[in-house]
A = this chain, B = another copy of it.
Amino acid sequence: MINVGVLGATGAVGQRFVQLLADHPFFELSVLTASGRSAGKSYKDAVNWRLDVPLPDSISEIVVSETNVKALKNVDLVFSALPADLASNIETECAKAGLGVCTNASAHRMDEEIPLVVPEINPDHLGLIDLQHDAGWDGFIVTNPNCSTIMLTMSLVPLRNFTFTDLKVATMQAISGAGFEGVAGMSIFDNVIPYIGGEEEKMEKETKKIMGSFDGNTIIKAPFSVSASCNRVPVIDGHTMSVWLDIKESVEKVTEAFRTWKPPIRDLPTLPESSLDLMSQQDRPQPRLDRNKGKGMTVSVGRIRPQIRYTAMGHNTIRGAAGASVLNAELIRDREYI
């Protein structure tokens, strides 16, 4: 068992990490950090647990530490659910101090020597860890994409062998993506908010890095343009998106590509039976009905139509956040970087 910690364990993504790591076959969750206000309290007293699964008993008595490197001396790997501004320094310090860092924070996603990984898409990008070691870090940082970007790129991977240069995507994103307090009820009830700060830029940049190729030294960005329009809708969990790709092939060929795609990695505990579920009903996927498939790790795709147009949907705080980091960690262990 590898001893692990969670940085920022009391927030929306932090609670998902706790849920996913509570009975993990490889990882023993032993350190939870939060702000100074929570430090010294048992986790069950420090957290306002807001998931609809119970707080795991095995975790509830862990005493919360303040977020810093000292708190992590007995762990080998940390998962970070910190806000980007806090994450930047502490994650680097952890990596220098010999820790593996699997982070959901955006701070280092676009850094040149830091891989932005979705195991089913670009496991080879983990090779950048060697460059991090060469640069003098004993540990490493591996990032996972923004929640919307994950759903989008997962839907792109079976289409990799088709030619396309122009991708347009309109998202309809759940309110949990902004954290427990991020969106006021009065703002989003009976409403659509056609703006999410920084989200469109993240989708546009991150997609091209993930879909890019690694030549052993650097990531060569994928050569298509991405244009995103991001909207917040009154949904608790599950990001839905309408996607257009200028693929010239027929709907049948595209459908066939989805149907026959298999992930290029072997079995991992958090890898769902189907990473991509191609749905045939004309009104699916839908977030409320499909977000919990594969324990929240399956991305659902449907409505493939000419142009090429389709709909993709996945659980934003599991597949799109905490589950993405945990799956990365499982891949990292499998590849013996830890």
Contacts and interface: CB of A to CB of B under 8 A. Distances in A.
A194 B303 contact: yes
A137 to B, nearest CB: 36
B236 A282 contact: no
Contact of A185 (B50, B54, B175, B229): B175
A186 B180 contact: yes
Given A185-B188, A186-B176, A285 B194 contact: yes
A96 interface: no
Nearest to A243: B229
A184 interface: yes
A322 to B, nearest CB: 16
Contacts of A293: 54
**7 closest residue pairs by CB, A with B:** A170-B170, A229-B242, A195-B283, A191-B288, A170-B242, A194-B311, A183-B185
A187 to B, nearest CB: 7
A288 B185 contact: no
A191 B311 contact: no
B190 A185 contact: no
A231 B172 contact: yes
Given A181-B186, A186-B180, A307-B227, A286 B191 contact: yes
Contacts of A290: 52
Contacts of A275: none
A291 interface: yes
